[in-house]
Amino acid sequence: MEPIVLTERLAAITEYWRPEVVARLNGQEVKLVKFRGEFVWHHHEAEDEFFLCLEGTFRIEFRDRTVVLKPGEGFVVPRGVEHRPVAEEEVSVLLFEPAGVRNTGNVEHPTLTAPDTGGRPMSTPRVLQYKVGDKTTAGETIEFIYGHSE
C-alpha cells in the first residue's frame, strides 16, 4: 500500500474525457479525469456520480439548471438524471462512482465513450479473450490481435 499522489497521476493524464482509476474500495472506483469542452448529454440509469473539482472551473448542465463547481467543491448527480459536464478551459476532476460505470452512461459516443477497462486502471493493459475469426459486437470478423498480457 502506497499513498496516491494525485498531482503525479493528473500530470500523467494526456487525453481529455478518459477517466483513470486511481483507487477501488467497497465496489466503488475513485477516478481522475481532465476535460475541456462539452461532453455528451447522458444519464446513468442505476448509479449516482460524485464530481469533485480539483483544478479549474466547470459546470454540470442539466435540462432545467446549471451547477458551477470551483476547486474544492463537489456535487452528486443522482442516478437517472440527464446531465453533461462542460469546461471552457482544462479542468481536473475526481470522480467517485460504482465500479464499471461507463463515462457516457446510456450513450455510446464514437469519440467520448472511454474504453471499458474491465475494472483495471486504464494504464494497465487488458487481456482480451478473443481469437482470430471471432465476431465483434459490431459483426466484424477479427483478423488480427495485438495485445499484452499482465
Q: Please indicate, yes or no, if residue 52 is contained in any of the structural domains.
A: yes
What's the pLDDT at 22?
Answer: 94
pTM: 0.73
Residues present in the chain in total: 150
Q: Please indicate, yes or no, if residue 148 is contained in any of the structural domains.
A: no
What are the average pLDDT values for consecutive 10-residue runs of the chain, which has 150 residues? Answer: 91 92 93 93 90 97 97 96 96 92 71 63 41 55 43
Q: Please indicate, yes or no, if residue 115 is contained in any of the structural domains.
A: no
- Print the domain residue range for 47: 6-98
Q: Please indicate, yes or no, if residue 60 is contained in any of the structural domains.
A: yes
Quote the distance between the C-alpha of residue 113 and its chain's center.
8
Q: Please indicate, yes or no, if residue 41 is contained in any of the structural domains.
A: yes
- Domain with residue 20: its CATH number is 2.60.120.10
Q: Supply the DSSP symbol for 124.
A: S
Q: Please indicate, yes or no, if residue 105 is contained in any of the structural domains.
A: no
What's the pLDDT at 40?
Answer: 85
Number of domains present in the structure of the chain: 1
Q: Please indicate, yes or no, if residue 77 is contained in any of the structural domains.
A: yes
3 state SS of 15: coil
